[in-house]
């Protein structure tokens, strides 16, 4: 009898531990939040000072003027008069094996100071390989923020 009670108690203990593990996974999923994007930058092919697959979080006007040529800033209204007390610019460089169809931007908060900038690039089947520059303007990030850039290339 004691053995049976011990076995039943052990089974209930295991089940309760397994149940609490599921709750933790659900909590982690709930902590992932999609954040608003203030502006998307247009696709650019020249005028950036970024190397192949380089990414950058731009937190001030001085860095913006290092990354973008002054001519480009003068031509693109989204790059003009950015209030860096309210916003940061996330920018990157990448390439496709052929021409573009469209870009889809997502900005996601993963944990306390961890963020993901996810870019889906749909490209045409025909065309020539090309380098391109992309970016978004988002609400000011904490100084401790770590932003991971993820580029997914999708052939329609």
Nearest to 57 by CA among 107, 100, 102: 107
| 53 and 16 in a common domain | no
pLDDT of residue 1: 52
Q: Which domain holds residue 112?
A: 33-154
DSSP-derived letter for residue 70 is H
pLDDT of residue 32: 79
Taking the mean position of all CA atoms in its chain, how far away is CA 72? Answer: 24
- Report the chain's C-alpha Rg in angstroms: 23
Q: Are 117 and 142 in contact (CB under 8 A)?
A: no
| 24 and 90 in a common domain | no
Q: What is the mean pLDDT of residues 115-124?
A: 92
Mean of the per-residue pLDDT values for the chain? Answer: 82
Q: Is the model's pLDDT at 101 over the cut of 70?
A: no
pTM for the predicted model, two decimal places: 0.76
Question: Could you tell me the pLDDT band of residue 26, with boundaries at 50, 70 and 90?
Answer: very low
Question: Could you tell me the pLDDT band of residue 120, with boundaries at 50, 70 and 90?
Answer: very high
Structure tokens at 115: 């963020």
Cα angle at 98 between 74 and 138, to 5 degrees? 40
Alpha-carbon span 64 to 92, nearest angstrom: 12
Q: Is the model's pLDDT at 23 over the cut of 60?
A: no
| 129 and 63 in a common domain | yes
| 40 and 20 in a common domain | no
| 6 and 53 in a common domain | no
Total structural domains within the chain: 2
Alpha-carbon span 119 to 122, nearest angstrom: 10
Each residue's pLDDT tens digit, 40-76 = 999 888 878 898 899 999 999 999 999 998 888 999 9
pLDDT of residue 92: 95
Structure tokens at 66: 């290092």
| 60 and 12 in a common domain | no
pLDDT of residue 27: 44
Query: Can you give the length of the chain in residues?
Result: 156
């Amino acid at each position: 009898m004691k053995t049976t009670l011990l076995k039943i108690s052990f089974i209930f203990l295991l089940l309760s531990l397994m149940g609490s593990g599921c709750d933790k996974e659900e909590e982690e999923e709930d902590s992932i939040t999609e954040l608003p994007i203030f502006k998307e930058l247009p696709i650019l092919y020249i005028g950036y000072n970024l190397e192949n697959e380089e990414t950058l979080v731009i937190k001030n006007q001085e860095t913006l003027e290092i990354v973008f040529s002054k001519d480009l800033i003068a031509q693109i209204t989204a790059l003009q008069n950015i209030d860096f007390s309210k916003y940061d610019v996330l920018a990157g460089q990448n390439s496709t094996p052929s021409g573009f169809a469209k870009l889809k931007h997502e900005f996601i908060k993963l944990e306390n100071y961890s963020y993901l900038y996810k870019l889906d690039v749909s490209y045409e089947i025909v065309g020539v390989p090309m380098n391109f520059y992309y970016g978004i303007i988002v609400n000011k990030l904490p100084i401790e923020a770590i932003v991971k850039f993820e580029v997914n290339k999708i052939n329609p």
